[in-house]
Amino acid sequence: MAYELLTLAFYLVVIVAASEIFTNAVETLGARLKFSEGVTGSLFAAVGTALPETMVPLVAIFAGNSAKMSEEVGVGAIMGAPFMLSTLAMFLIGVGLLVFKGSRGGAPFTPEKTGFKRDMEFFLFAFTFSFLVAFTPYEYRLLRMFVSLVLVLTYFYYVMETIKASASLVGEGHSTEESKPLYLSRIFTEHLFWVLVQLLVALGLIVIGAKGFVHGVERLAEVVGIPVIALSLLIVPVATELPEKINSLLWTRNGKDTLAAGNITGAMVFQGSLLPAIGIFLTPWTINLTVLASGLLTIVAGAWLYYLALRGKGITTRLLMVNGLCYLTFLVIAFYMML
């Protein structure tokens, strides 16, 4: 078991280091392109760090035949990521507010209001829409194709609206700023090319680290004797979402709350629209009690975040405890169903 624990520790270090390199490159890219923190966090960072867990269902869908898809790729594989982000990831930001209280001067979490609100509006629409489709008969192919198209268009409209809002936000003082110079600029000359190189290297390390960590968790589960269902529902999803969590904690530590929030909420929009569109179009997209519970709790957690966005005040650790309670509720339900 010592070997498995050392393997987990090694890949966790890889993910943390890669996340630090990634946030440095993303900040530099956003600053060089003169984008707002909303674009940098909700689009660049969110899509980039969502790649490791996004590839898992996509590979399963496109690699298998239709019968295998029905068995292995369901609504839970795709809808689980937004659940983890809206509950556990946001709760961890609340924990980060306590841990970094000294460096932040006790300041509450204050992401830019309009971007936070926009992200949650698009997410709640797309996720709820895709969730409800799971209750329709598989024979309603035209309806499902229409929903898939709507979800794809929703995400592209979201991208356009986020970029459109960038100029005015930059004018209001929400431009992306570099916390420190690009790491590669200490070796090479400052050029956009090296920004992209560092970004790609960081993404590669994130993918390697996430895959290695998940593999290590699976090995540890075999040694300890953890049930497969517990592994698939509770452990692996937490591991695959590590890049978003760590990136957001790093930005929370540095007081860059808009980037920290956008990294999570932007990934929620991406994974709550484009991935369900593919799943609805190519799989039976059926639902079970576990997925029903996680889906409903995701909507509750998302609605709570939307309320916090409308509230427009600083968000404290106590307020983000609600998201943690949603995750804890799911744990209780999942363990009860495994008994």
Structure tokens, 186? 């200490």
pLDDT tens digits along 280-328:
887 778 777 888 898 999 999 999 999 999 998 899 999 999 999 999 9
Q: Of the spans 79-88, 89-98, 206-215, which averages the highest pLDDT?
A: 89-98
Cα distance between residue 149 and residue 92, in whole Å: 34
Closest CA to 135 of 270, 301, 284, 299: 284
Closest CA to 293 of 339, 333, 322: 333
Above 60 in pLDDT, residue 215?
Answer: yes
pLDDT tens digits along 52-67:
667 666 655 665 544 4
* DSSP 8-state code for residue 185: G
The pLDDT of residue 69 is 44
What are the boundaries of each domain within the chain?
A: 2-338
**pLDDT category of residue 70 using cuts at 50, 70 and 90:** very low
Cα distance between residue 290 and residue 281, in whole Å: 22
**pLDDT category of residue 213 using cuts at 50, 70 and 90:** confident
Q: How far is CA 10 from CA 16, 223, 238, 246, 316, in A?
A: 10, 18, 17, 15, 33
As to burial, measured by CB atoms within 10 angstroms (0-12 exposed, 13-18 middle, 19+ buried), residue 318 is: exposed
- The phi and psi torsions of 64 (rounded to 5 degrees) equal -100, 165
Mean pLDDT of 224-228: 64
- Enumerate the H helices of the chain as residue ranges: 2-32, 37-39, 46-63, 66-72, 75-84, 90-99, 101-104, 113-133, 141-164, 166-171, 192-224, 228-230, 236-240, 242-253, 257-282, 289-311, 317-338
Q: Which fold has domain 2-338?
A: A middle domain of Talin 1 (1.20.1420)
pLDDT tens digits along 160-203:
999 998 878 777 776 777 777 888 888 887 788 888 898 899 88
pTM metric for this prediction: 0.86
Above 50 in pLDDT, residue 72?
Answer: no
Which residue type, as a one-letter code, is found at position 126? Answer: A
Mean pLDDT of 92-108: 92
Closest CA to 174 of 123, 101, 116, 92: 116
Mean pLDDT of 46-55: 73
The pLDDT of residue 55 is 65
